[in-house]
Amino acid sequence: MRKICILLAAALFFSAAALSGCAAEGERSLYRIEAAYEDGELRAVLTLSYANATGQPQQVLPLLLYANAYREGAKNPSVSPSFRAAAYYAGESFGGVEISSVSPCAGWRVGGEDENVLYVELGEPVPDGGRAEIAVAYTLRLPAADHRTGVTHGGTVNLGNFYPVLCVWEDGGFRECAYAGNGDPFYSDCADYEVTFTADAACTVAASGALQRRTVAGGRATHVFSLQNARDFAIVFGPSLRTVSAESGGVRVAYCYEDDPAPQETLALLCEALGYFSHTFGGYPYETYTAVQTGFCHGGMEYPALVMLSDALAGQGLAYTAVHETAHQWWYAAVGSDQCTAAWMDEGLAEYSAALFFEAHPAYGIERETLLHNARTAYNAFCTVWQQVFGAADTSMDRPLSAYGEYEYAAIAYAKGLLLFDTLENALGRAAFLRGLRGYFRAFCGGIAAPADLAAAWHDPAARDTVYSFVEGRAVI
Ligand SMILES: [Zn+2]
């Protein structure tokens, strides 16, 4: 997160001052989800039509149960220690996933490093290029928490990571990404979504994807959403949300808010950022874009076509976060990367993109030079402290999230990430630098890029060496 960490990024700002290409429709997996919410519980059935593109038959499908990180006794809790007090506003609270049934299959079990994986053994192997369909019935219990998955302090409900997600096939095996309190430990392939969601009819429902229809019966409203070629799907809903919307470049942009004295201004900023990034990097790939103000202990959180913005933000903090999260629609949602080991790729680019936006839009009063100055200050302070305390600072950037402390993570993924792309732009010139980024977006939109793919984006050995000098911790900053 500016990812989680937009708050950390906002804090920096306000303090001192490989797989490529898209799978075609029909070759992608399809998540059909029917879910109903009531009194802190989501009862759901995921029908997954799995498209096997691994190059070999598969008998066992592993699906990540991210929400199990909210259960009592989790080895890798979803909220890091320093944010627990802020997230659990009413004291300790737990959630988790209970699987009721899986069918058809030869068997299933919940396992993995931290009960974070549902293994489904198919009755017979699904051949390469073939499809298998399974239905998973489950209950998701939500904690009282201002976090990605939780009933927030204001009554709005955040449904991030609310369904089992197929692991990414990589290097001859499925990657089982364990949850981490740091960063955004999410890594998934693009798929298609058809989501039917039922809740109290008094609630406003914001979701990834376009609303196809809404029907009301017995005080409950059922919404049907669709989304194509996306790597995740999230919902935020509640009775206190109000909505303003506009069309921007053919995209329906909505801003759902609980308490914002100037919602039209926030909506205008979202439209401006969406238009600027579309023009600068390549067209926004979805029909809709929704930002939701909600209870969230960090600054913001990105999902395809939907972002959460903390209701604790206002003024320039809200503006910065909104732009940073919008940039993630290009760097994370469209162009995927392994956020569990290379968080600098999407976070660094989101920070750089925000700096570029505010440089081009001075009326917001956020100066690029100030952002860069703060990033240098934060990074150098981290190096100094680590050298004094530990005798050395590891400044490498390709590391699992579990290898970082929070302060270290912000200094490396955000601050050093921004400095990396600023350094590249200065060396190449803005036109050549942006040309390379546009090519990177075109090549990996809907796919997953490895660090080597990003390093090769400029077809320039010197640029590639610069990337590696930063990533390997050799660069002198
Ligand atoms: Zn971010």
* Per-residue pLDDT tens over the stretch 153-202: 999 999 999 999 999 999 999 999 989 988 999 999 999 999 999 999 99
Q: Please name the residue ranges forming H helices in 198-314.
A: 263-281
Give the C-alpha separation, 187 to 168, whole Å.
7
CA distance 298 to 1: 7
pLDDT at position 477, please?
A: 86
When comparing pLDDT for 476 and 282, which is higher? 282
Measured in Å, residue 103 CA sits from the centre of ligand 1 at 37
- Are 176 and 61 in contact by the 8 Å Cβ rule? The answer is no
Give me ligand 1 centre to Cα 425, in Å. 20
Q: Residue 13's pLDDT band (boundaries 50, 70, 90)? A: very low
pLDDT-based confidence at residue 1 (cuts at 50, 70, 90): low
User: Which two tokens mark 434?
Assistant: 């942006």
132 Cα–ligand 1 center, Å: 34
pLDDT band at 14 (very low <50, low <70, confident <90, very high): very low
The dihedral of CA 115, 120, 125, 131: what is its sign?
negative
* Residue 239 structure tokens: 């009775």
- The answer to whether 108 and 99 have CB atoms below 8 angstroms apart is yes
Give the distance (Å) from ligand 1 centre to CA of residue 292. Answer: 16
Which residues on adjacent β-strands are paired with residue 236? 158, 206
CA of 163 to the centre of ligand 1 (A): 22
In this model, does residue 7 exceed pLDDT 90? no
**Ligand 1 mean position to 227 CA, how many Å?**
22
d(CA 5, CA 224): 31
The pLDDT value given to residue 25: 67
Residue 51 neighbours by CB distance under 10 Å: 21
Neighbours of ion ligand 1 (CB under 5 A): 2-3, 347, 350
Ligand 1: centre distance to CA 291 (Å): 14
Cα–Cα nearest to 197, from 219, 224, 157: 224
Place of tokens 């955000």: 414
- What mean pLDDT do residues 42-62 have? 98
- Does residue 10 register a pLDDT over 50? no
Phi, psi for 343 (deg, rounded to 5)? -65, -20
What's the CA-to-centroid distance between 8 and ligand 1, angstroms? 10
The 10s digit of each residue's pLDDT in 189-218 is 999 999 999 999 999 999 999 999 999 999
- Strand blocks (E) in 142-232: 149-151, 157-159, 165-166, 168-170, 173-175, 191-200, 204-207, 210-217, 220-230
pLDDT at 307 over 90: yes
Residue 476: pLDDT band with limits 50, 70, 90: confident
DSSP-assigned beta bridge partners for residue 138: 44, 99
Over residues 84-93, the mean pLDDT reads 97
> How remote is the CA of residue 202 from the centroid of ligand 1, in Å?
32
- Spatial distance between the Cα atoms of 52 and 187, rounded to a whole number of angstroms: 17
Please compute, for residue 250, the number of CA atoms within 13 A of its CA located in the half-sphere on the CB side: 6
Query: Is pLDDT of 21 > 60?
Result: no
For residue 185, cis peptide bond before it (omega within 30 degrees of 0): no
Q: How far is the CA of 128 from the centre of ligand 1 (A)?
A: 35
Give the Å distance between the CA of 126 and the centre of ligand 1: 36
Q: 175: which strand partners?
A: 168
Distance CA 302, CA 128 (A): 32
Q: How far apart are CA 434 and CA 429, in angstroms?
A: 9
pLDDT of res. 71: 97
Tens digit of each residue's pLDDT (9 = 90 or more) over 357-390:
999 999 999 999 999 999 999 999 999 999 999 9
For residue 349, report the distance from its CA to the centre of ligand 1, in Å.
9
For residue 161, give both structure tokens: 């990571």
pTM score of the predicted model = 0.95
Residue 3: the pLDDT is: 42
- What is 30-230's CATH number, 1.10.1060.10, 3.20.20.70, 3.30.530.20, 2.60.40.1730? 2.60.40.1730
Rounded distance between C-alpha atoms, residue 278 and residue 21, angstroms: 18
11 CA → ligand 1 middle, Å? 13
DSSP-assigned letter for residue 448: B
Give me 58's structure tokens: 């598969």
Read off φ and ψ for residue 423, nearest 5 degrees: -60, -45
CA 246 to centroid of ligand 1, rounded, Å: 24
Q: Would you tell me how many other CB atoms lie within 10 Å of the CB of residue 444?
A: 23
C-alpha–C-alpha distance, residues 311 and 260, integer Å: 9
Mean pLDDT on 150-154: 98
How far apart, in whole angstroms, are the C-alpha atoms of residue 260 and residue 203? 18
Query: pLDDT tier at 85 (50, 70, 90 boundaries)?
Result: very high
> What integer pLDDT is reported at residue 15 of this predicted model?
35
pLDDT in tens, 204-261: 999 999 999 999 999 999 999 999 999 999 999 999 999 999 999 999 999 999 999 9
- Do residues 88 and 145 touch, judged by C-beta distance below 8 A? yes
Q: Ligand 1 centroid vs 176 CA: distance in angstroms?
A: 22
Q: How far apart are CA 272 and CA 160, in angstroms?
A: 26
* 255, 277 contact by CB (below 8 A): no
Distance 328 CA to ligand 1 centre (A): 7
The rounded Å distance from CA 4 to ligand 1 centre is: 6
- With a cut of 70, say whether residue 436 has pLDDT above it: yes
Q: How many CB atoms lie within 10 A of CB 438?
A: 14
Q: What is the pLDDT of residue 2?
A: 55
How many A from CA of 426 to the centre of ligand 1?
Answer: 23
